[in-house]
Structure 1
Amino acid sequence: MFLLSGKCRWSFTLSMVLSVTSVFIFCEYLIYYPAILQCSWPEIQNGKTSQSPLRALFLSDTHLLGSIKGHWFDKLRREWQMERAFQTAVWVLKPEIIFILGDIFDEGKWSSAKDWEDDVSRFKQIFRHHSDTELVVLIGNHDIGFHHEMTWHKLQRFEKVFNVTSAKILSRRGVNFVLVNSVALHGDHCPICRSVESELHKLSVALNCSVQEHQSESMKRRCQDTQTVPATSPIILQHYPMYRESDAECTGLDAAPLEERHQLFQERYDVLSQEASQRLLWWFKPRLILSGHTHSACQVLHDNKVPEISVPSFSWRNRNNPSFILGTISSSDHRLSKCFLPEESSVIAIYCGSAMALLLLALGHFHLFRGTLSFSSLLGKHKPL
């Protein structure tokens, strides 16, 4: 009888360990697959070009925690979530190019040289990818500081590590992406601001020279020394959104909470200034704008024709339901779709529900085991001679 009880206890213990392990593996590894397998690339027609459309993935505001304000467990939890979500998305969806729209780090504006190297190392581990996939990172205010904190040193160390500049046209398969350091569009003629605005103006001239088929003699002379880019309307990518008063018109599951949508935005802090926004629209005449910074989703229309998509934060630290954007883009058309990650509240609910169920099973087994021992003792006392 005691041998049988020992086997039962061992079998129950093994079952409990397997149950806990299964719940952990599901919540930390497998839960991302059913969420991301529901996502798919939107389809478009090739149109006049023979090139296949480009598959681009857009995410934003990863905010990798630093050594100053980051608690070790918070850092571990959030970064593990982003790593598993990113690696699953890349493996399942196989994007050709990935854009991260700024605020890669949370403390880039404060980081010492040693902390910066540590943050960069963790970023490369979390967002590792195959050589067939291109990763492009944009500058955010937490990476180099808000305008008054921005310095050449912080800007150049970011550009060096991520091989990006504050103003650049990236052309892939006939699609032009204008990469903008929106932190430098403050409009106060600071040295960095002047440099970035000058480069953006040169890029706008290059685009206009490429798009215009019939040019005057003066325009031809002006276009002689400009870089050659595909003759297609560009897509602007930046961290700050274009100017809008608030998120009052934003809707959707990942829009800002209702109580926050009517809060007025501050120019040059929450959004670009009206002047800078209009300058970008006038210079580049984009067909689409993608931005981050607010941590919530929004879609607005500028000048009644140019859509802007605000991409929510990719981190559970900033929202319960992170998401990213899938874009199928050709030289003349584009289609976007949104892919949601598992909600943190769902993962917590699974852990709590499983813990409660296992606790009840353990209590039931304990009472059953005690009952078995009592019955065995009773039999022993009345054993016949």
Structure 2
Amino acid sequence: MARRLKNKSLYCNGLAGVLLMAICVSPGVAAQFPDVIDQRSVLSTQASHATLLSIARAGERLVAVGERGVVVLSDDSGRTWRQVQVPVSSTLTAVQFVNSRQGWAVGHSGVILHSGDAGQSWTLQLDGRRAAQQELNDAQTAALEPNADEGAQRRLVAAQRLVTDGPDKPFLALSFSDTMHGLAVGAYGLVMRTEDGGMTWQSWMGRIPNIQGLHLYAVAQAGDRYYLAGEQGLLIRSLDGGKSFEKLDSPYEGTYFSLALDSDGAVLIGGLRGNVFRSRDQGNNFEAMNNPVPVSLGSAIRIGQQVLWVNQAGGVLRSTGDSSTLQPLATPAAPALTAVVDAPDGSLVGVGFAGTARLAISNVNATSSNPERAVAE
């Protein structure tokens, strides 16, 4: 894996720096640190000021996650926050709730956490050790099939390496369509699937056309359609509920960090240098969208009839189905934001390298062309 780590070193100094911290540490060095999978997160009165990477709504509650297993909750639209403890101290990279109570978070060391009470308590459903072993088991079975090809053998070798390396690979994104069905993706092509709410997880790495093991940064689904996006312009699609996947022709060779499906079903992808593309035919063809702020886009979220994008500088932009141009909604705050969500009171709440911030945007759905400054209230 040392060769791959060397090739990935450039990602340790940019948009994905925090997300990929685990990748930039060799297995030998990582082994010297306490096993964060087995250590509960540390409670701190300053948790809401920690580096936070993702935020989601659980009904009337906001849930944000970040470094060292920090999870903070707000019941007043982001004005005040309190920390809850989780069973790991791994950095958490993404969080999603499918209703007011059921949610999942993923992160470093291959961890997947579940909450059934709006983020108040969490259980560990999967970690990197079990994920690697699951992939090895599946790869061994596939290699013994009568029609096994060279690809099956390559998968087996890669799976054996996963087990040998230990739980040093992070999950970077997740997508649940309901309380039962979800997908988690991450570094080196990690893909895990559940159909029972996370009680069990299966490796889907053998289904994904990603021979190089490129990092997967984003995933989205709607019905039987799945879309995955990652480094070096990697775009993957399934139109049959995950039974088969195909690699799409990418309009861009750079890395994609964000992916969203708009209210009309169009596929939107964003990545390095502010490049944004849209497909109205399920990914067969893409058109470039105009982004007046050529800064890398780290996250995207659909809110009503629009998609909000957060760029590396902390700016927030909006795209709508009837426009081919992104509209700046908020100019950068200091420090940068990593994600935003619409709060129950209609405001926009962001998280980033200095924790949480209520943004000075009174109506997320406003259509004014005048950008507002994103500052903490």
Alignment TM-score > 0.5, same fold? no
Which structure's residues are more often helix, by fraction? 1
Structure (1 or 2) with the larger CA radius of gyration:
1
Higher strand share: 2
TM-score, with normalisation over the residues of structure 1? 0.27
